[in-house]
Amino acid sequence: MTPGRTKVNVQLAVRNGRGLSELPGLHETNLRRDVGLKIEQIGSEYYFVLIGCDLNLQDDWTAKHDISPFGVFSLVQDCRATWMHKVVNFAEEVLSPRGMRRAFPFKDDWDHASRDDAWLRQICAPLAVAGAKLFHSLFRSGADPRMDRLAAKLRELSRTRELIITITSNDFFIPWGLLYTHPDESDDLAVDGSNFRWEGFWGYRHIIEHNPEYSTLPWDLKPSADGRLVTSFNIDDRIDAQLNVACIQPQRTFFQSLLGWGIIERTKKSEFIGAIASDDFADQIVYFCCHGVGSGDPGRVSAALAQLTLSDDDPITATDIDYHMSGHEFHSHPIVFINACQNGQMTTLFYQTVAKMLLKKGASGLIGAQIDMPAVFAAEFAQRFFSGFFSRRGKNRILIGPLLRSTTRELLQEHKNPLGLAYSLYRGMDCFIAWGDTREPPSPS
């Protein structure tokens, strides 16, 4: 065997070489994984192991990548910068009563259904190029030509069918939904991306979760006897006034109306830290709508700067969470949803620090935006997601993984807004609200 390869701790199991059958402890009613990708850092190299998907078990599906952590960070930042420039900060001249003015469509509104398809395609073509470049760089052969086989297999599988994918890595954090692999085998993606297809974006076509580490946490949220879930609203309540948008107040009204019971509202670091430090912490849904910072200025990368800030501007860091939760974890195993709105600097290091710590402390799953979301879209996406998650549809379980994809597709197809692709799921693909007991297997649709 190649030296060092035995060090890779692969925890994914394969049955008869036909698809990824299960993760250790995976329940019979959970979604069946098609692809398992394990990425582990050993010294200065990353080792990739591809599992499942009709792979020939006699073949070698292990490869190494000599890219540095900063190299990964830089690649991802390039992709994020394209999204920020081409979508979030996209500007156009519009006629107003006072003459022509500069407008920012994706900051001003979330609904662009009245626009024609050509308008959206012109905006999004560079996103496909950025996603294709990121995929190419992450799976380039470099010093190990075996990486070419992994890349070719992933492209082939992505073209063949919609996949259910689990990536497992403590070190390699990527906005997987922004990757693009051209679905047309007979044609390459054009240099300007003009021939892109939506199903080339991984976040549109596939259901994907990133597991920082293997966990046996429960995937079902159990309501109380009277049918309630403890839900918290952790916010910067100045966003509406600061950005001159309707974001926080509509969401406050929405949650209160949707749930039919009170929500816990926190606007200060001391309130949040005091809550998680207590053994009585019982939140089952932890929702953030505030500002997030990934690592500070790109030229001054520091994991210590990754933080969330509520109304008091007092940063909440991974170190804060670790220190104040020393000796205990979340007994309620909550689902965490982080909407980081405009004026932040979201980067890979936020999820590699703050989000990873929340998962380490017992969160069953975490959803977060990979870019600084326009506040109006952040509010709409969250409301649509939670409307679906809290719905009761007979015996059909509403699983987070399929729901995240369907919410993204709905906003893209019906409202011509691609920003849902920038939401990532960390663990929790199979999480659902156990309104009633059923043994029926879930559907990935």
Read off the CATH number of the domain in which 341 is found: 3.40.50.1460
- Same domain assignment for residues 157 and 205: yes
pLDDT greater than 90 at residue 205: yes
pLDDT for the residue 438: 44
pLDDT the model gives residue 7: 37
Tell which residue, 155, 150, 136, 248, has the closest CA to residue 199.
155
Give the orientation angle of helix 400-415 with respect to helix 375-389, to 10 degrees. 130
With 80 as the cut, is the pLDDT of residue 309 above it? yes
More confident residue, 431 or 348: 431
* 255, 365: one domain: yes
What mean pLDDT is predicted for residues 250-261?
89
Are 60 and 75 in the same domain? no
Smallest CA-to-CA distance from 343 within 246, 423, 236 is with 236
Is residue 307 included in any domain, yes or no?
Answer: yes
Q: How confident is the model at residue 24 (pLDDT cuts 50, 70, 90)?
A: very low
Poorest-pLDDT segment among 70-74, 89-93, 145-149, 360-364: 70-74
> Do residues 221 and 178 lie in contact, with contact meaning Cβ atoms separated by under 8 Å?
no
What is the spatial distance between Cα 109 and Cα 377, in angstroms, rounded to a whole number? Answer: 7
Residues 257 and 224 in one domain: yes
Give one DSSP letter per residue of 149-211, joined into a string: HHHHHHHHHHHHS--EEEEE-SS----GGG-B--S-TTSPPPTT-TT--GGGBHHHH-EEEEE
Q: Residue range 242-270: average pLDDT?
A: 91
C-alpha to C-alpha distance for 61 and 74, rounded to whole angstroms: 26
Q: Quick one: 171 and 74 in the same domain?
A: no
Residues 157 and 278 in one domain: no
Residue 424 bridge partners (DSSP): 368
Inter-axis angle of helices 69-83 and 117-138, to 10 degrees?
180
Question: What pLDDT shows up at residue 439?
Answer: 43
In this predicted structure, which of 15-24, 149-158, 388-397 has the lowest mean pLDDT?
15-24
Residues 227 and 207 in one domain: no
Per-residue pLDDT tens digits for 27-53: 666 888 888 999 998 887 889 999 876
Select from 158, 169, 163, 154 the least CA-distant residue to 32: 163
The pLDDT, as a whole number, for residue 343 is 46
Count of domains for the chain: 3
Residue 441 within any structural domain of the chain: no
Query: 200 lies in a domain?
Result: yes
Same domain, 332 and 248: yes
In this prediction, residues 228-251 reach a mean pLDDT of: 91
Residue 28 belongs to a domain = yes
Percent helix, strand and coil across the chain, each to the nearest 5:
35, 20, 45
Give mean pLDDT, residues 161-185.
93
Query: Containing H/E element for 50?
Result: strand 45-52
Query: What local confidence, expressed as pLDDT, does residue 23 receive?
Result: 45
Note whether 169 and 301 are same-domain residues. Answer: no
**For residue 392, which of 177, 160, 227 has the smallest C-alpha distance?**
227
Residue ranges making up the domain that contains 78? 69-127
Q: pLDDT averaged over the chain?
A: 84
Q: Which two tokens stand for residue 122?
A: 């012109």
